[in-house]
């Protein structure tokens, strides 16, 4: 049982990292990434015997972030995939880690935006010409792959969660 719980826990950093890479390369975050995070969270919570109230609070935290990020999406500040991924990450982190996650996401997102804008200001190096992901990222007026900032914040916060503590045997 401990092996199953450990394997399920490892899914979080793997899926978050893959989603960030996918976003960086395609400027999209498919629904499968947040869906996997939500399903695995529920399975892990049930397998570890989390009280229904605790699971509910995690879902409420995720729903709160979903509402807030979809407002940002509606105003064009964030992509829909970013909103769903942020919500699924918050589901794992819970209400205790939601605010630190959101603050770090904003900080990493600001740094990422500055880096992407600087990249777009410079001429594209010759070895990147013809590589679609580089051309897409370099395109003036294109979005910022905010999934990278979401993943970075999530991976910084994850060691402070109950799931990581269980994985580490603490």
Domain coordinates in residue numbering, the chain: 2-113+147-168
pLDDT of residue 162: 83
| DSSP string for residues in 45-114 | HHHTT--HHHHHHHHHHHHHHHHHHHHHHHTTSS-HHHHHHHHHHHHHHHHHHHHHHHHHHHHHHHHHHH
The tokens for 100 are 């630190």
Residue 150 pLDDT greater than 80, yes or no: yes
Model confidence over 10-36: pLDDT tens digits?
Answer: 999 999 999 999 999 999 999 999 999
Q: Is the pLDDT of residue 170 over 70?
A: no
CB 13 within 8 A of CB 151: no
- Looking at residue 125, the DSSP 8-state letter turns out to be P
Weakest-pLDDT range from 17-21, 111-115, 130-134: 130-134
Contacts of 72 (CB under 8 A, 6+ apart): 78, 83
- pTM to 2 decimal places: 0.94
DSSP classification of residue 122: S
Look at residue 121 in the predicted model and tell me its pLDDT. Answer: 94
């Amino acid at each position: 049982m401990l092996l199953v719980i450990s394997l399920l826990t490892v899914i979080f950093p793997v899926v978050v990292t893959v989603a960030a890479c996918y976003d960086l390369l395609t400027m999209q975050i498919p629904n499968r990434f947040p869906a996997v995070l939500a399903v695995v969270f529920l399975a892990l919570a049930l397998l570890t015997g989390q009280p229904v109230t605790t699971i509910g609070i995690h879902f409420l935290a995720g729903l709160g972030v979903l509402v807030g990020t979809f407002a940002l999406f509606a105003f064009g500040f964030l992509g829909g995939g970013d909103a769903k991924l942020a919500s699924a990450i918050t589901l794992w982190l819970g209400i205790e880690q939601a605010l630190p996650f959101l603050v770090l996401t904003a900080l990493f997102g600001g740094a990422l935006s500055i880096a992407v804008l600087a990249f777009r200001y410079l001429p594209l190096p010759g070895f990147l010409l013809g590589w679609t992901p580089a051309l897409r990222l370099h395109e003036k007026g294109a979005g910022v792959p905010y999934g990278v900032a979401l993943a970075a914040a999530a991976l910084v916060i994850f060691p402070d969660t109950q799931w990581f503590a269980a994985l580490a045997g603490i």
